[in-house]
């Protein structure tokens, strides 16, 4: 793990495909590092209301202020709705999970005592989406601030007092714990004039004429908003060793090109890559390629069928099931699959280095084993 980078994983154990080791199935991937920016959303359990009157709303905002000050967060925008809340926050220290636990549990405890209710107030874990840098601050904060308008609760966002937006249009309504200026100075594009507050107001009001799409519809896998360089950095920070086997969003972040997997399999077994497409070539190598592609890539079955020379997509699971049956009794085969999987694992990546290094396997590992055995016999 790189210095200053923290991962939060909650998982249960299940048996891995006959290899005899445990497979981690994380509930949620959390990448935390100094200076990370997030859009956070938390809903009421079963979509129940998390506030019932203005005293609840004031307490929720007060607990957010306390949590942000305690954690050293830079709160960039927020809105509290009836049954959920949105928050855009930058974390100078890698402590989103700790701060959110403090914030939500403090409010839930207070709400339960006040209403004399037991049980969970919030639904499972909060949702956290990552944001690359300030170039996205305006579109994400506008999305946050227009929530009451989209819900039909007000006609204009400044009419909703339980939000950071009134402070953006009226300096007298600013909250001391919200970093308005950091958002305003991130202006640019067609609204990048000399009056940042006025430019931002016009940018948000443009969303009243034509409701903007959620910016996270264009994010990587719906949760990482940024450039390819940013995605590459997250891929390096997460690393398959830290999260493998992994939850779908982390799996897609670290997924490999199926051609790379097939090449690694062909190299290991000492065959040409096109031999994997032949039925009577090397059936174990072909099945291993299917098995490892299902594990290490997000390629659909139809694509894998084409790579492996199969006539139908449903032939791919047939190959993997055949290999699973062999794995129950063939420990050597299990070792071979582990060796190929290890060759596909990336080297530890410095978080400041954003471009992944290609893997090179010039000599077949299996051929090296055979050579060593031959030398030992002679």
Q: Check whether 233 has a pLDDT greater than 60.
A: yes
Token look-up 């079955």 returns 301
Which CATH number is 182's domain given? 3.30.70.1290
In a domain, 2, yes or no: no
pLDDT tens digits, 95-126: 999 999 999 999 999 999 998 988 889 987 88
pTM, entire model: 0.62
Which CATH number is 261's domain given? 1.10.1750.10
Domain count, the chain: 2
What percent of the chain clears pLDDT 90, i.e. is strictly above it? 46
Listed as own residue / partner, the contacts of 360-366 with beta carbons closer than 8 Å and 24 or more positions apart are 361/264, 361/267, 361/268, 364/267, 364/268, 364/269, 364/270, 365/267, 365/268, 365/339, 366/268, 366/269, 366/270, 366/336
Q: What is the mean pLDDT of residues 38-45?
A: 94
pLDDT of residue 325: 86
HSE toward the beta carbon, residue 12, CA cutoff 13 A: 2
Between CA 130 and CA 140 the distance in angstroms is 11
In a domain, 335, yes or no: yes
In a domain, 16, yes or no: no
- Rg over alpha carbons for the chain, rounded to the nearest Å, is 26
In a domain, 24, yes or no: no
- The tokens for 111 are 């709400």
Which strand (E) or helix (H) includes residue 197? helix 196-209
pLDDT of residue 6: 56
Q: Is the peptide bond before 342 cis (omega within 30 degrees of 0)?
A: no
Q: Are residues 277 and 177 in the same domain?
A: no
Q: Are residues 205 and 262 in the same domain?
A: no
Beta bridge mates, 163: 79
Token look-up 């039925």 returns 279
In a domain, 96, yes or no: yes
Q: Are residues 39 and 107 in the same domain?
A: yes
* Nearest by Cα to 183 from 173, 318, 172, 169: 169
In a domain, 252, yes or no: no
Higher pLDDT, 319 or 221: 319
* Nearest by Cα to 267 from 282, 245, 247, 250: 282
Phi-psi region of 239 (alpha: psi -120 to 50; beta: other; left: phi over 0): left
Which of 194, 218, 242 delimits the end of a domain?
218
Q: Are residues 196 and 48 in the same domain?
A: yes
Domain coverage including residue 203 = 33-218
Q: Are residues 268 and 139 in the same domain?
A: no
- The tokens for 70 are 């305690």
- The tokens for 283 are 């059936």
Q: Are residues 189 and 268 in the same domain?
A: no
pLDDT tens digits, 304-347: 989 999 988 888 888 888 888 888 788 788 888 888 887 876 54
- The tokens for 118 are 């037991």
In a domain, 320, yes or no: yes
Q: Are residues 298 and 192 in the same domain?
A: no
Q: Are residues 264 and 180 in the same domain?
A: no
Are 162 and 220 a contacting pair, CB within 8 Å? no
Mean pLDDT estimate for the chain:
80
Listed as own residue / partner, the contacts of 350-357 with beta carbons closer than 8 Å and 24 or more positions apart are 350/2, 350/236, 351/2, 351/4, 351/5, 351/33, 351/233, 351/236, 351/237, 353/236, 354/229, 354/232, 354/233, 354/236, 355/232, 356/232, 356/235, 356/236
pLDDT of residue 327: 83
CA distances from 336 to 159, 268, 294, 364, 365 (A): 64, 9, 16, 12, 10
Q: Are residues 179 and 265 in the same domain?
A: no
In a domain, 242, yes or no: no
Which of 168, 203, 218 delimits the end of a domain?
218
pLDDT tens digits, 274-288: 888 887 788 899 999
CA distances from 114 to 42, 43, 110, 118, 243 (A): 21, 19, 6, 11, 41
Q: Are residues 265 and 169 in the same domain?
A: no
CA distances from 24 to 2, 180, 214 (A): 21, 41, 32
Which strand (E) or helix (H) includes residue 12? strand 11-15
* Nearest by Cα to 319 from 350, 356, 294, 298: 294
Q: Check whether 377 has a pLDDT greater than 50.
A: no
Q: Are residues 65 and 121 in the same domain?
A: yes
pLDDT of residue 88: 98
Between CA 249 and CA 93 the distance in angstroms is 24
Q: Are residues 169 and 314 in the same domain?
A: no
Between CA 341 and CA 324 the distance in angstroms is 16
């Amino acid at each position: 793990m790189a210095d200053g980078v923290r991962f939060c994983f909650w998982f249960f154990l299940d048996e891995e495909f006959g290899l005899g080791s445990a497979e981690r199935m994380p509930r949620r991937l959390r990448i935390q590092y100094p200076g990370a920016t997030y859009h956070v959303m938390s809903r009421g359990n079963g979509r129940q209301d998390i506030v019932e009157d203005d005293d609840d709303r004031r307490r929720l905002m007060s607990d957010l202020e306390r949590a942000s000050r305690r954690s050293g967060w830079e709160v960039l925008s927020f809105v509290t709705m009836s049954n959920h809340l949105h928050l855009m926050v930058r974390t100078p220290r890698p402590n989103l999970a700790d701060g959110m636990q403090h914030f939500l549990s403090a409010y839930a405890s207070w709400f339960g005592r006040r209403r004399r209710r037991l049980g969970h107030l919030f639904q499972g874990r909060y949702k956290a989406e990552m944001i690359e840098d300030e170039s996205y601050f305006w579109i994400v904060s506008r999305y946050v601030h227009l929530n009451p308008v989209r819900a039909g609760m007000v006609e204009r966002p400044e009419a909703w007092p339980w939000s950071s937006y009134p402070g953006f249009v009226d300096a007298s309504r600013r909250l001391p714990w919200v970093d308005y200026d950091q958002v305003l100075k991130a202006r640019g594009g067609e609204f990048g004039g000399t009056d940042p507050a006025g430019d931002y107001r016009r940018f948000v009001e443009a969303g009243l004429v034509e409701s903007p799409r959620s910016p996270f519809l264009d994010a990587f896998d719906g949760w990482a908003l940024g450039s390819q360089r940013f995605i590459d950095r997250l891929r390096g920070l997460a690393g398959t060793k830290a999260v493998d086997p992994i939850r779908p969003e982390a799996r897609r972040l670290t997924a490999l090109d199926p051609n790379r997997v097939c090449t690694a399999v062909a190299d290991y077994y000492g065959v040409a890559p096109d031999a994997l497409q032949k039925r009577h070539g090397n059936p174990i190598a072909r099945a291993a390629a299917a098995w490892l592609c299902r594990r290490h890539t997000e390629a659909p079955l139809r694509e894998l069928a084409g790579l492996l020379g199969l006539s139908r997509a449903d032939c791919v699971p047939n190959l993997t099931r055949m290999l699973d049956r062999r794995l129950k009794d063939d420990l050597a085969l299990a070792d071979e699959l582990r060796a190929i999987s290890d060759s596909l694992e990336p080297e530890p990546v410095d978080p400041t280095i954003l471009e992944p290094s290609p893997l090179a396997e010039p000599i077949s590992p299996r051929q090296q084993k055979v050579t060593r055995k031959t030398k030992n016999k002679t």
